[in-house]
Amino acid sequence: MRTIRLLSLALLILAIPAAAFAQFEVSVGIAPPALPVYVQPMAPDAGYLWTPGYWAYGGEGYFWVPGTWIQPPTVGLLWTPGYWGWGGNAFAWNGGYWGQQVGFYGGVNYGFGYGGVGYQGGRWQNGQFYYNRAANNVNLTNIHNVYNTTVINNTTVNHVSYNGGAGGVTARPTAAEETASRGQHTPATSLQTQHERAASTNHELLASVNQGKPAIAATAKPGEFSGQGVVAAKQAGAPYKAPANNAAATKAAATKATENKAAENKAAATKATENKAAENKAAENNAAATKATENKAAENKAAETKATENKAAENNAAATKATENKAAENTAAETKATENKAAENTAAETKATENKAAENKAAAARTNENKAATPKPARAPAESTKEPTAHAQPAARPATTAKAQPAPRPATATHPQPTPRPATTAKAQPAARPAPAAHAQPAPRPAPAANAQPASHPAAAVHAQPEKAAHTSGG
């Protein structure tokens, strides 16, 4: 249970903005003492900014927190000091903060550039802090970023350390200070917090002990309350007035402060709870929206990827189909060309064969015609005187005699040399040349004799000639 309470308290503290701490840190029914008079210690090095001292409140009353040089949490930030302000029934402490601009700090004149309005002790330029020598104690040997502008301090307030109430500063925030107070703030650094804690444990810094004139008014660095960097107050800002020794009044003030603090804490807790709930709701809504966006993006991505894959598959299929069609067309074209070539070659071979056959047949026909037209039977009269010799040939050529068929074609006998050509008889060869008669029908060529016209074959004429010869001889 204790762990849960501590965790809840931690979440509450984190949820409360810095402005809430600045407005509600502590409230007291007694006004703080006047600011002591002291000199500023020398700046330890470049980059340190001055934070003025102030009166804080603890268990033993007011105690002094020495002014000190400190490094800002971030380059470009300026310190707005805290201040006490009258709230109608008590004084409340408004804590200081870091910001881009110096805001309202009650119009309290803390000195050293904090004259009650803004800051004239220095400025940031090109990432480096430049010190106004008129408001700050700097060593020119170590620090070169300096300038000199006169600072006019308001001395009419007589070192009053609070705003409002009896004898307090009556300043009100300007428009620029209001804007700065609503801007982004960074709380005091851990060194500043430790510095204040160390002061709260130092008995000499209690207002009831030092009477408004602390022995440690300022230090060169935070937490260093001894050494050369320590500066003591010259005097109190005003005569010290101890709080009235009125237990009832003190008790009432303490009670009122406690009640106010409880109410403030309650309001802060309620506000923190509401803020936390709102933040959780916003976080849930944001998470849901983010999840929906991520899911939508994932779906769109998947759809785009699927579309891309389908498109690639379609393109691949189309390319494959085109390749296959092209290959089929090329194969068909090659096959067609081969078939056409083969057909042409076959046709050419067939044509050549037919032409060759026709040529051979024509040549054979011409040969037979030439053989038939040759006037060899003119030698028959000379052979007629030797009838035994002329009749001796048929016995050696029985096949030729059968193919010639002289009996059915008697007209064939008239085709040889006609009777009105006696000159042929006169030109006949003498009997001493029987070889021509045998040469008329050579035995090695029976086929031509069969293809040629038998009637016009000279051999048939040889058979027919004896009768004519007999007539010739009778005449």
pLDDT in tens, 29-57: 899 999 999 999 999 999 999 999 999 99
Do 54 and 237 form a contact (C-beta atoms < 8 A)? no
Do 200 and 63 form a contact (C-beta atoms < 8 A)? yes
- The reported pLDDT for the residue numbered 373 is 57
Q: How far apart are alpha carbons 335 and 342 in whole angstroms?
A: 10
Report which DSSP code applies to 451. Answer: H
The model carries a pTM of: 0.50
Do 331 and 338 form a contact (C-beta atoms < 8 A)? no
- The reported pLDDT for the residue numbered 75 is 95
Q: How far apart are alpha carbons 94 and 81 in whole angstroms?
A: 9
Q: Tell me the average pLDDT across 431-459.
A: 44
Unique residue bearing structure tokens 């008014």: 217
Unique residue bearing structure tokens 């910001």: 99
Residue 327 has pLDDT above 60, yes or no: yes
Residue 286 has pLDDT above 80, yes or no: no
| 3-state secondary structure (DSSP) of residue 69 | strand
Q: How far apart are alpha carbons 266 and 259 in whole angstroms?
A: 10
- The reported pLDDT for the residue numbered 450 is 40
Q: How far apart are alpha carbons 121 and 124 in whole angstroms?
A: 11
- The reported pLDDT for the residue numbered 262 is 67
229-248 confidence digits (pLDDT tens): 999 999 999 999 887 654 44
Do 115 and 154 form a contact (C-beta atoms < 8 A)? yes
Backbone dihedral region for residue 211 (phi beyond 0: left; psi -120 to 50: alpha; all else: beta): left
Residue 210 has pLDDT above 90, yes or no: yes
Q: How far apart are alpha carbons 166 and 187 in whole angstroms?
A: 30
Give residue 335's pLDDT band: very low, low, confident or very high (50, 70, 90): confident
What are the domain boundaries of the chain?
14-243, 378-474
Q: How far apart are alpha carbons 282 and 273 in whole angstroms?
A: 14
Rg of the chain over Cα atoms, rounded to whole angstroms, equals 73
Report which DSSP code applies to 117. Answer: S
Residue 27 belongs to what H/E stretch? Answer: strand 27-28
Do 100 and 76 form a contact (C-beta atoms < 8 A)? yes
DSSP codes, 81-106:
--EEEE-SSSEEEE--EEESS----T
Report which DSSP code applies to 376. Answer: G
Q: Report the length, in residues, of the chain.
A: 475
149-199 confidence digits (pLDDT tens): 988 765 444 799 999 999 999 999 999 999 998 999 999 999 999 999 999
